[in-house]
Structure 1
Amino acid sequence: MKFRFDFSLFYSPTQPYGCVTGYLEMPSAPALGELVQMFGEGEDGVQLALRVDAVLEADPDQPRTLMLEDHVADGFAEAELLARCLEQVHKFFVDVY
């Protein structure tokens, strides 16, 4: 099943870096609170798994949207590295604030 996802990326608990969106293929719909593996550890050592906060379905002909928990990186440099990995390797979209 194809799902659209959305989550916010922070570089500190109070400083937002941007919003991340994209699409994921999953075998079934995740439940609220379930951990979604965005991607496993690759050559760059980056991995990301987030919990599902909400599942939205506005149009039955479109993929459902998974609202995922926010991710707080360990500083601005880590947020930049993760954003670059999300865009270049995984083809997700990062809207930097």
Structure 2
Amino acid sequence: MLVNNRFICNGGFLPYHVWSIDPESYNNKSTLDPAGPFFDCYPNLGLTKNSAPFVQVLHTDAEGLLFHFGTERQMGHIDYYVNPGQSQQPGCLIP
């Protein structure tokens, strides 16, 4: 028998929206760079603090000069913004 509340669910971009469907499945959800396009227009859709007892989010593509695929929106109990969430990372030549 597996006890789901002992698992940590990790993923990135679009899969995190699927995990938000069943808040009781996991005790801890972590997402890496959640998708912003379309989901920013509908803040109640997708991952929220109510998606699990503890939700942490790592934003790495929240803003950019021309475009971005992530979101600046706070979604979890803890949201981390790397460099501060900009798509251009130090030492990376690809914008």
Alignment TM-score > 0.5, same fold: no
Q: Scaled by the length of structure 2, what TM-score is found?
A: 0.27
Q: Scaled by the length of structure 1, what TM-score is found?
A: 0.26
